Amino acid sequence: MINIYGFAGDRLPDNSAADDSHWLHVSGCGFQKFLSHSHVVSRPHGRTDFQLIFITRGRGYFDFQDSRRTIDGGSVVLFWPNQPQQYHYLCEDHSELYWLHFSGRTIYEMLAGFNQSQPLVLAVGLRESWILLFDQMIHELQMKRPAFSDQVNACFLQLMADLKRSQTQYQLKSCGHENEEIDQIIQIMHRQYQRPWTLAQLARKANLSVFHFAHKFKLCTGLTPLQYLTRIRIHTAMDLLASTLSSVKEIAHLAGFANPLYFSRVFRRETGKSPSGYRREIRG
């Protein structure tokens, strides 16, 4: 027996089209429990949307390129659009999982810090908060009460924020035993992104040489310190453009850019859009 509940359930076709007409579109969310039958998924060309799987019990067996990985409960798998999907679950493992399909204009920007060349696999633990978020999304999508899409989007954004934080923490742990100073600098960057930081100033804060600091920071995060700081500032600007009526000049200052013209150039480089164009698009 395969027990499935949720919005779309097993009726969501593998070739369902991604919806990029909205900034975010959650097309399906559900729960599966494999009790007496195994389950095989084979999508050689993947899907056109994003797929996230959160295994809460048992395990799954995933084929990535030329290797097979056993992924245990408490782990998440994120497939990017058009990535091959080959995996299965065995009934004797009594596996349970939540799944989520989503798309939208801003997803690539939202997940900009992740490696897009391969599926993301991350051990996050058995998080009760995530189970509650998935259950709420399923309920909202089934009932379709007023403002249900806003509720679903809020749950999704919380889930993505937790996922990005887990990825950052994983990267920090993978740097080795001397990561406290990098963790401290990342916290300072998030609190004081408006300050005109230089690489030398950040290195001094970490009590490291510029070379050692820059090397260690990139090892931990995949970005240089100033790239990471720019990413924080641009994401701050994106939030302000979407949620306030402040002018582009004011938002540039609030996000830590002294020069509005430079801010506009960096914003276009990072997002592919001008600040005004992004604001028009996100507000429909």
CATH number (domain holding residue 133): 2.60.120.280
Averaged confidence pLDDT in the chain: 86
CATH number of the domain bearing residue 234:
1.10.10.60
Place 13 in a pLDDT band, splitting at 50, 70 and 90: low
217/169 same-domain check: no
Q: What is the pLDDT of residue 125?
A: 80
**Residue 240: CB atoms within 10 Å:** 19
Is a pLDDT exceeding 70 seen at residue 171?
no
Q: Are residues 50 and 139 in the same domain?
A: yes
Q: Which of residues 133, 155, 173 is at a domain's end?
A: 173
Question: What is the Cα–Cα distance from 74 to 55, expressed in whole angstroms?
Answer: 6
Task: Judge if 138 and 22 occupy the same domain.
Answer: yes
Residues 90 and 181 both lie in one domain: no
Boundary residue ending a domain (133, 150, 173): 173
Q: Hey, how many other C-beta atoms are within 10 angstroms of the C-beta on 90?
A: 16
Contacts for 270 with CB less than 8 Å, ≥ 6 apart: 112, 230, 231, 234
Query: 147 and 71, same structural domain?
Result: yes
Residue-level pLDDT at 95: 93
Find which of 59-68, 158-167, 169-178 is predicted with most confidence, using mean pLDDT. 59-68
Q: At what angle do helices 260-271 and 225-243 cross, to 10 degrees?
A: 100
Interval 173-198 mean pLDDT? 80
Quote the pLDDT of residue 260: 95
In sequence order, what are the beta bridge partners of 34?
A: 2
Q: Kindly state the average pLDDT of the residues 134-156.
A: 92
**Residue range of the domain that includes 12:** 2-173
Q: Tell me, yes or no, whether 193 and 215 share the same domain.
A: yes
| Final residue before a domain boundary, out of 124, 146, 173 | 173
Same domain for 135 and 233? Answer: no
Instruction: Tell me: do 114 and 222 sit in the same domain.
Output: no
Percent of the chain residues topping a pLDDT of 90 = 52
Answer yes or no: do 85 and 181 share one domain: no
Instruction: Write down the pTM of the prediction.
Output: 0.62
pLDDT at 267 over 90: yes
